[in-house]
Amino acid sequence: MTIAFISDLHISEAQSEIGEQFIDFLGHHALKYNALYILGDLFEYWLGDDDINPYLYKIKKALKDYTQSGIPTYFIHGNRDFLIGKRFSAETGIKILSDPTIIQIYNEDILISHGDQFCTDDVSYQTTKKLTRDPKWQDMMLNKSLEERKAFAFEARLKSTKHMKDLADDITDVNQSEIANTFKKFNLKTIIHGHTHRPAIHNLNIQNTDHQRIVLGDWYDQGSCLEWDESGPNLINFYR
C-alpha cells in the first residue's frame, strides 16, 4: 500500500505548466497509489465553484478521470482555495476533509493539515484567515460577480506578497510550541502539512517522546510529493 500527499501546487492559467504537470502526474505517477491527499493550495486562487474557465475545466476533468479510476482522493482547503465547495467535490469526485483531520497509515494515527494554523506568529495572517473562513464572509464574496471576485483575489495576492517580503523567515514558519501542543492535544506522533514551502522530514523529541513533522514542498520549483509505503515516508520531487 502506498499513500501519497501533495500540496501547494498553486495551479493557475498564468503558470499553465504546473497544471500540465499535475495532469501528467495524475495520468501516470499517481496511478500506483492507493489514496491521494491534496493538503491545500491546489490552485493559486479559487473564485468559486461557478467559475467556468476552460483552463480550470481541464484540471477538474483530470481529477474526475483519476477518481473514477477507483483511487480515493481527498482535499483539505488551503489559504488560496478555501472557496472550493460541494459542487467542485461532486464534479471531480474528491472528498473534502476538515482541517485538521486524523487518518491511519499502517495502524498509526497521522494528523494532516494545510499547515497555516501552525503559523501563529504571523498575527496579521491569522486575523485575515479568521475573516475569510467565516461562512457569512464567504456567502458575501460568492454573491459578487466573478469579475469582482477576480479583482479581490488579485489585490489580495499583491498584499500577501508584500506582507511576506516584510516578515522574517521565522515568523512565516510554524510556531514550535503550537506544534508541540498539537502533538499533545491529539496524542499522536506524526504531523503532515504544507503551506510553508519548506519540504523536510523533521525528527523531534518532545518530552522524551519521538515525533515527526513532515512538510510538503510547493510545485513552483520541485513538484514535491510525499509517498508513504511499508518502508515509511519518503519525500520525492517530480518535474523540476
Whether 203 has a pLDDT exceeding 70, the answer reads yes
Q: What's the mean per-residue pLDDT of the chain?
A: 94
Mean pLDDT within 67-90: 97
Looking at the domain 3-237, which fold is it? Purple Acid Phosphatase; chain A, domain 2 (3.60.21)
pLDDT in tens, 168-202: 676 779 999 999 999 999 999 999 999 999 999 99
Which region among 77-91, 144-158, 175-189 has the lowest average model confidence (pLDDT)? 144-158
Confidence label for 89 from pLDDT (cuts 50, 70 and 90): very high
Distance, C-alpha 24 to centroid of its chain: 19
Closest CA to 88 of 50, 125, 119: 50
CB 190 within 8 A of CB 214: yes
pLDDT in tens, 43-61: 999 999 999 899 999 999 9
> What's the CA gap between 206 and 150, in Å, rounded?
44
Domain chopping of the chain, boundaries? 3-237
So what's the pLDDT on residue 240?
Answer: 61
So what's the pLDDT on residue 171?
Answer: 72
Confidence label for 94 from pLDDT (cuts 50, 70 and 90): very high
Closest CA to 94 of 53, 116, 65: 65
